[in-house]
Structure 1
């Protein structure tokens, strides 16, 4: 790991920061330390707990034990290490003849199905997690209106007001004011609190001198209902700031569900991302605010509502901090304690609304991220950064949430393209989103969630899933070794975010999307460094980052300013961009502003201060060496660095659809370099000064250490073109074995290799077996025969700005995956570039037969069907989902594009 002159090992930094902030020093030991030789052995067959998992959607839930068992075995055979049980909306009406019965959520019958699934999974050594609620966010019929998600309702009416609207059910008065102005623009300095009018007869009279308004503040509720609820799970979203509400949920839903886990607890209980829209108030807020902030919020409600002034921003900040306190203490901590009491763990996506902070990630035992926005602000980096700071070695992430819409369109290459972005953000446990429960009565290609990819065995390319999951397993396991080694810390301006809160909008992470700009993130990553976020409360955890970047920031707490000063005094380097912190954030903090300005003036005089993000790469280069030289890649290369006691590990990924070549220059001082293949576990020596190329969406694991390479490490060599002419494979036969939904088609001779070119086959989804013969002599020493496909083509990225989701922008020669056999023996699979396999050890002298089993997606089959009609379903259960991008479906090209050849290559050893 890079170290700058004067930084004495990092933990001294931690101790000084802790002393400055009155906290105990945090020291994180290197995790899972092993020798390089041990790593090599385990890398070949990593433990099962590094396997990817899937979110398993039970629709209804209308499930049977027979189907549960079948799907669990399919997951296991596909290489998945576990599943998360999640019950959502129904997809079929009850039908005794078909055996369809929607079980009521949390009923004894449904809980028995949970028990059965847990037993089946455990018998196969699989991890079983449980979503502790139906749909999301938590809530349901057990939540009365006074425990539902709260909001501050604000009514501004010009005087005279003739009629007072009645309060809605669950609403209670908070305060009333008169102020000069109009409902759109009023003078908060003139606001005068009055008795809350009980009825129309008690309304104040108009002042004839100038316009006046009546301001009413009401403790109300968002009335948000649980999204995508299962049958019996319908109801209000609970108040995430009310201890009473979460206790009600745990004592009803939680206790009921865990009866299915009496013999063995789930590995984790899960809470999805905080999507409690508009929730900015709770019944106890005025009392809690006064106790925590030291003054009464009620007289300041007009300023809270109107904003604009510095005083109003300070009030909004204090309001936001109080909301965060209540989410932490009344939602996150009770759930973590509940998990501990039930011998499990709380896995939580702790971001969104209401107002969670980065340091709140200390509370869940298993913080989880979401989103592949590796070069922008992302929830995934938010979570991995917290885990890096607070010593959690495993970072999970909901992965493939919006992958290549519509459902069934996503491919194995799409999966890799997103997973690699997650890896460079610090993820080392994939939670695939997801696996739709899909019984035999579901029309093929089966069920899907309204807006997500499908990774179950109904997708034809599932035949290569074991190879995909093996790749993910090896990378995940390697990225758990040692400790994280990101060199740059980026201070999140959370106090500014909270000061920018406004009624109905109280999300720290939403504010960060504008404060941590894509240009800022790309400047850091493009300079050859990876980055962790840190907030003011976590500055003392900076025990290894040699560089701290402070983006444009106005407000900072005194202890945070002192924390930066202690960090700099211990040898850490600091770069300030644009506006520097100068103001205490809250009302009672104002007395600290002079001392903050003094501390910051001293800091800025001894630190780098640049005007804007354009100057950042140069400023970084002057202070720390690049961790990996990625300058020539123009933002197309991401990497993650892990530091072991006697080695450095880099995961390097090309996130683009074009090849990228870059020098093998790293900040590591270790002399021996090796490429470790996550595809097959082989290890090949690498040349430190030799440039290397990553194919489109390619990735590599680089291991650097100080020892000598053992005998099992392959020497690097080039395969160069031979003078022997390639063998063109052109006389193909094609067999269509069919799938559950697509009929088998007759074998064709001299078939076109893109089967969708034929009108009769364009809606076929499944497997096609292409066979061709060729003659060959026995390979000579040093000679390799490769099965070689046409080059793929980069596609323009036409994703609309701001739209969720991603895909691989690449037109591959194999659509979408293939398994290759030579003379009846399995050679390997092809599901990402390079589309090439070495046939050498399978070649016979004389006649040979190559068989390429190609698999497309389920979208062609779906496109050939009439749109699915949910009219009767929604008439009974309501409109609980809207299928995404399912209109005007078209089949996509399937098969093999371009020529297929056997090409000869000759080994050329490198010097």
Structure 2
């Protein structure tokens, strides 16, 4: 019996959003896409500026979002627009809660989901956070005692006059004989008198507050940032929401937490007690080692212990605590772990929906892809960084992996669908299957173009000139995510992430693991180099933490980190400097129970300061018992231990084979449902891939699914040893889904391949361009051209300033052969085109390659063609700034450009709009 995904999910009322669903035993007919759910559609962060929302506009906007294919929204209240203060609703006030309840009710009627940021702006905080529960820091002041010095004044040194006063909690004396002891009791009126002659150094330790307040706070949400490390502070914060809602929460899906941007917070009230209990020694007597940057062994170990303790407090007191609280309300949690001083894998794994983010623009060598260096940030999103979130989800049995997508993809108003798609596909390849646009700003109907705007957003609003063309882009995401949310991930390898190597950084104290500093903590490591090499070789990998290794089990020789997770064929340990003894013990236990474990090298050392020599000896003894100091591989219980400087040859020797897909230049990610596998394939190269590609599967047939237009067809394929060889054709920028299956495929049409056209004909017409009255600033006069050209190529000021839709119409003669397939090829589209042929809608072209199948719409003789093109908002924004027409007037940061400088588009060049180059019809034999 075949069931759709939606029906399967609906069977489990305890998990209505399919976050932990295991669909492995169900089938979807080979001729079908999975049935669409709201989670398959793209969602968006929804900025509530000033929370100036009302029922009428909420209804209008939600209907608009639903119309274009948005599946859900994440409400994020922030600062407001000036001049509209009378509309502001204070966060958590009764009117605000009433507006939220109305939003949730209306969204549900439209089959949309709602998530809610548990606060305003970011990070968590607000007026309910009293000073004692605000983000805290440690201040250590060092005093060198000069010879003969008798007195010393102990006074907090402040970086600025607004810095809160700290509390002196310890005064540690360091003596000539090496002794370190508390001398606080010698202090009178913050002075030391009669200083002992053998006192060399004094270190004053303060418990202080960072003073940070909520960034971009909404009205009613202003206040101090929360101390995430202190359970009492977190609980009080959560209880404030229970009180505001009177425990009557609306039917939202999940509470959400943004990336950890709690600056300078490296301490908490009970930190020293927690540290001593967890690490076994008193940190206050190790302050010289903690603040030293000289990289000596003791300093590195103390810093590692300090960072590990911060990580544990963050996970236990905030992330897990918050998730349990949300669960008690019947809600999920969605969290961005990056940026925090903690183990990213374990933080991501502690919530229901791990969320990563793409920040900036990647380079792809796709011919014709626009990437103006002046319009992008000098940062490349790294797909391996994204895999921390997806790995955590896969290994803890969570189905959804979300992503804050397109943050600062390019300069405001200049991002097109064709630029978004390769960046989007890269996130899919990293395991993301639940895209969140960043974002959509709530903008009332009475606010003129461009509406309310958020300073770091993609600005996908109803005012965007691409808005009516957005449904096609959203359908692409929906089809792709319907597959990427099905079944389970099918990654055959687990790669150990050595967090203790990251925590061994000799510089600084707190170690923030951020998106923007991957060149420091990620790229130089063997973990990164080996993972990248494996992926490029055709292997699929997940990253695993020490904690995950400790809870993993072995079933039939394969490693299963969680009852609902995929099983892996091997555990790979890249070269590491520091590995806890407990981790090595767990690794050996997995091998003893039947797992295959491959070490790139012997773990060099153990982390931590306490009992270091004893623990080193234990590590050496444990390693010696394995026999890997004398042999490259040994049997270990039911499993095997292997020592190999390169993973690929060792995997091949164990008959753990890679996919052959990477040999073609294609990138891929795969999912499995029972015996069927879905492969999402992308051609990010500069060359066409037209060849047979090898898929590692026992299936006998392959089905090709095109997420752009939804077409499905049976591929040409044949068995080739361990592989199924499938014929594929992907132009640069294209993506397809290949399903390998043993289900019946006889009823499917054969997939049509477009390798080389037999004839290419230029489509020529006398073109008339008319303009949509919904664009602006004014509607240009009609244009007439004998050749295809943009509407901005001519001395027409109104057309140069226009953002909206322009429609090309023309007539051309053509001879049709029923034995041929015809494709319409555009040289350039600025930026999205809908095509009608002879009065029939033929489809939309919005991504490279600009190709559309028009076979069923062509007729013999004269053909009428209509092409509606939507351009970018950029030209109209330039018009506003050139004419000094006010449109950006906000509290807080107001509106900035991609370099965080005041935004001004008055000197922009006109962005090409419409069509240019040639319009060709390519003919292929069926």
1:622–1:86: structure 2 CA closer, same or farther, 3 Å change rule?
same
Aligned partner of 2:32 in structure 1 is 41
Bigger mean CA offset, 245-254 vs 847-856: 245-254
Query: Residues 777-796 of structure 1: matches in 2 within 5 Å?
Result: 777=815, 779-790=816-827
Aligned partner of 1:219 in structure 2 is 207
1:305–1:720: structure 2 CA closer, same or farther, 3 Å change rule?
closer
Encode CA deviations 1:57-115: one digit per residue, 9 max, x unaligned. Answer: 011122232222221111101111111111112122336xxxx5222222222222212
Distance, in Å, in 2 between the alignment partners of 1:853 and 1:86 is 34
Which one of 499, 512, 528 corresponds to residue 538 of structure 2?
528
Aligned partner of 2:355 in structure 1 is 368
Distance, in Å, in 2 between the alignment partners of 1:204 and 1:860 is 72
Aligned partner of 1:202 in structure 2 is 191
Encode CA deviations 1:161-184: one digit per residue, 9 max, x unaligned. Answer: 86543586452223223448xxxx
Distance, in Å, in 2 between the alignment partners of 1:156 and 1:484 is 52
Aligned partner of 1:670 in structure 2 is 699
Aligned partner of 1:437 in structure 2 is 442
Aligned partner of 2:57 in structure 1 is 67
Please tell me whether residue 317 in structure 1 is matched to residue 309 in structure 2: no
Please tell me whether residue 144 in structure 1 is matched to residue 130 in structure 2: yes
Encode CA deviations 1:649-678: one digit per residue, 9 max, x unaligned. Answer: 111122345544564112212121111121
Aligned partner of 1:681 in structure 2 is 710
Q: Is the 8 A contact 1:528 1:627 kept in 2?
A: yes
Distance, in Å, in 1 between the alignment partners of 2:383 and 2:768 is 50
Query: Residues 239-250 of structure 1: matches in 2 within 5 Å?
Result: 239-250=227-238
Distance, in Å, in 1 between the alignment partners of 2:791 and 2:872 is 13
Distance, in Å, in 1 between the alignment partners of 2:435 and 2:449 is 27
Q: Is the 8 A contact 1:626 1:666 kept in 2?
A: no
Distance, in Å, in 2 between the alignment partners of 1:830 and 1:172 is 64
Distance, in Å, in 2 between the alignment partners of 1:133 and 1:497 is 31
Distance, in Å, in 1 between the alignment partners of 2:286 and 2:701 is 64
Please tell me whether residue 232 in structure 1 is matched to residue 231 in structure 2: no
Q: Is the 8 A contact 1:377 1:513 kept in 2?
A: no
Distance, in Å, in 2 between the alignment partners of 1:223 and 1:333 is 25
Helix, strand or coil at the partner of 2:463: coil
Distance, in Å, in 2 between the alignment partners of 1:263 and 1:315 is 44
Please tell me whether residue 861 in structure 1 is matched to residue 876 in structure 2: yes
Aligned partner of 2:240 in structure 1 is 252
Please tell me whether residue 771 in structure 1 is matched to residue 813 in structure 2: no
Distance, in Å, in 2 between the alignment partners of 1:141 and 1:834 is 52
1:445–1:873: structure 2 CA closer, same or farther, 3 Å change rule?
closer
Q: Is the 8 A contact 2:685 2:733 kept in 1?
A: yes
Q: CA deviation at 1:285?
A: 0.7
Distance, in Å, in 1 between the alignment partners of 2:54 and 2:494 is 50
Q: CA deviation at 1:775?
A: 2.4
Aligned partner of 2:370 in structure 1 is none
Encode CA deviations 1:303-336: one digit per residue, 9 max, x unaligned. Answer: 2222633233332222222222221222112311
Aligned partner of 2:848 in structure 1 is 833
Q: CA deviation at 1:56?
A: 0.5
Encode CA deviations 1:211-252: one digit per residue, 9 max, x unaligned. Answer: x44321111122222111112222211100112222222222
The structure whose RCO (Cα within 8 Å, separation 6+) is larger is 1
1:740–1:781: structure 2 CA closer, same or farther, 3 Å change rule?
closer
Which one of 301, 309, 315 corresponds to residue 287 of structure 2?
301
Distance, in Å, in 2 between the alignment partners of 1:622 and 1:353 is 40
Q: CA deviation at 1:501?
A: 7.2
Q: Is the 8 A contact 1:583 1:590 kept in 2?
A: no
1:663–1:78: structure 2 CA closer, same or farther, 3 Å change rule?
same
Helix, strand or coil at the partner of 2:809: strand
Please tell me whether residue 697 in structure 1 is matched to residue 711 in structure 2: no
Please tell me whether residue 485 in structure 1 is matched to residue 490 in structure 2: yes
Q: Is the 8 A contact 2:661 2:668 kept in 1?
A: no
Q: CA deviation at 1:502?
A: 6.0
Helix, strand or coil at the partner of 1:700: strand
Distance, in Å, in 2 between the alignment partners of 1:321 and 1:133 is 27
1:94–1:839: structure 2 CA closer, same or farther, 3 Å change rule?
closer
Helix, strand or coil at the partner of 1:864: helix
Aligned partner of 1:721 in structure 2 is 757
1:513–1:196: structure 2 CA closer, same or farther, 3 Å change rule?
farther
Q: CA deviation at 1:154?
A: 1.4
Which one of 776, 794, 800 corresponds to residue 758 of structure 1?
794
Encode CA deviations 1:441-471: one digit per residue, 9 max, x unaligned. Answer: 5442333321221222222122221111111
Which one of 158, 167, 172 corresponds to residue 177 of structure 1?
172
Bigger mean CA offset, 193-202 vs 730-739: 193-202
Q: CA deviation at 1:523?
A: 1.1
Q: Is the 8 A contact 1:347 1:367 kept in 2?
A: yes
Q: CA deviation at 1:783?
A: 2.1
Aligned partner of 1:341 in structure 2 is 328
Helix, strand or coil at the partner of 1:109: helix
* Residue segments in structure 2 that go unaligned for 5+ positions in a row: 1-19, 158-162, 363-379, 553-558, 561-566, 634-640, 718-724
Q: CA deviation at 1:838?
A: 2.1
Aligned partner of 1:91 in structure 2 is 81
Encode CA deviations 1:4-54: one digit per residue, 9 max, x unaligned. Answer: xxxxxxxxxxxxxxxxxxxxxxxx9953532242x64343x4333311111
Q: CA deviation at 1:694?
A: 2.4
Distance, in Å, in 1 between the alignment partners of 2:587 and 2:604 is 11
Aligned partner of 2:113 in structure 1 is 127
Query: Residues 353-752 of structure 1: matches in 2 within 5 Å?
Result: 353-371=340-358, 376=382, 378-404=384-410, 406-500=411-505, 504-508=509-513, 511-512=521-522, 514-515=524-525, 519-539=529-549, 540-541=551-552, 542-543=559-560, 544-570=567-593, 572-577=595-600, 580-588=603-611, 591-601=614-624, 602=626, 604=628, 605=631, 606=633, 609=643, 615=646, 617=648, 620-632=651-663, 637-656=666-685, 658-661=687-690, 663-688=692-717, 689=725, 691-718=727-754, 721-722=757-758, 726-750=761-785
Q: Is the 8 A contact 2:660 2:694 kept in 1?
A: yes
1:535–1:367: structure 2 CA closer, same or farther, 3 Å change rule?
same
Q: Is the 8 A contact 2:569 2:656 kept in 1?
A: no
Helix, strand or coil at the partner of 1:432: strand
Q: CA deviation at 1:276?
A: 1.4
Distance, in Å, in 1 between the alignment partners of 2:394 and 2:696 is 20
Aligned partner of 2:23 in structure 1 is 31
Aligned partner of 1:900 in structure 2 is 919
Bigger mean CA offset, 505-514 vs 126-135: 505-514
* Residue segments in structure 1 that go unaligned for 5+ positions in a row: 1-27, 181-186, 791-812
Calculate the aligned-residue CA RMSD, in Å: 3.1
Q: CA deviation at 1:207?
A: 8.3
1:323–1:603: structure 2 CA closer, same or farther, 3 Å change rule?
farther
Q: Is the 8 A contact 1:403 1:452 kept in 2?
A: no
1:847–1:585: structure 2 CA closer, same or farther, 3 Å change rule?
same
Q: CA deviation at 1:375?
A: 8.7
Distance, in Å, in 1 between the alignment partners of 2:229 and 2:675 is 46
1:882–1:480: structure 2 CA closer, same or farther, 3 Å change rule?
same
1:232–1:880: structure 2 CA closer, same or farther, 3 Å change rule?
farther
**What TM-score comes out, normalization by structure 2 length?**
0.83
Distance, in Å, in 1 between the alignment partners of 2:152 and 2:165 is 24
Encode CA deviations 1:530-552: one digit per residue, 9 max, x unaligned. Answer: 21110111114342222333223
Aligned partner of 2:103 in structure 1 is 117
Bigger mean CA offset, 642-651 vs 735-744: 735-744
Q: CA deviation at 1:376?
A: 4.2
Which one of 888, 898, 921 corresponds to residue 884 of structure 1?
898
Distance, in Å, in 1 between the alignment partners of 2:218 and 2:491 is 42
Distance, in Å, in 2 between the alignment partners of 1:310 and 1:147 is 35
Encode CA deviations 1:659-710: one digit per residue, 9 max, x unaligned. Answer: 4456411221212111112123322222343553422222111111224413
